[in-house]
Amino acid sequence: MSRTLTTCRRCHTPLSPVYPGQREHPLCSPAPKGWIPPDGEHHRRTLQLALAHAARGWHVLPLSPDSKRPLGNCPACRDYDNGKPPHRIEDCPCIPAGAWCHGVRGATTAPATITNWWQNQPDAIPGIATGPSRLCLIDIDNHNAPFPAEPATALLPGIDLTAENLPEALWRDQSAFRDGRDSLRLLTRLRGGEHPWPTGSAYQPVTVNTPSGGRHLWYQAPAADLRQALAPHGIAWQVDIKAGWSYGIAPGATTSKGTYRTTSGHLDAPGRMPDWLAREVIRVAGHAHRPRPPAQPRPRPHRETDLGPAAYLTTVINRGTARLVGLTDGRKRALAALAYQAGGLLDWSGLPHDQVTEQLTTAGTTAGLTHTTAARIVRRSLARGLDEPLPEPSGLRR
Return the pLDDT at 126.
Answer: 97
Boundaries of every domain in the chain:
6-128, 135-285, 304-387
Q: How many CA atoms lie within 13 A of 288 on its CB side?
A: 6
Q: What tens digit of pLDDT does each residue of 331-388 get?
A: 888 898 899 889 888 888 888 888 899 889 988 887 778 888 889 999 998 888 887 8
pLDDT, the chain, mean: 82
Q: Return the SS3 of 28.
A: helix
| Rounded-to-integer distance, Cα 99 and Cα 110, Å | 12
Least confident of 22-36, 129-143, 166-180, 194-208: 22-36
Q: What angle do CA 92, 93, 96 make, to 5 degrees?
A: 100
- Helices 353-366, 371-387: inter-axial angle, 10-degree rounding: 140
CB contact at 8 A, 140 and 239: yes
pLDDT computed for residue 84 by the predictor: 56
Which of residues 63 and 21 earns the better pLDDT score? 63
**CA–CA distance from 392 to each of 195, 254, 347 (Å)?**
59, 52, 10
Distance CA 61, CA 248 (A): 10
Backbone angles phi, psi at 176, to 5 degrees: -85, -5
The reported pLDDT for the residue numbered 211 is 93
Residues 235-283 have pLDDT tens digits of 999 999 999 989 999 999 998 889 999 999 999 999 999 999 999 999 9
- Three-state secondary structure call for residue 146: coil
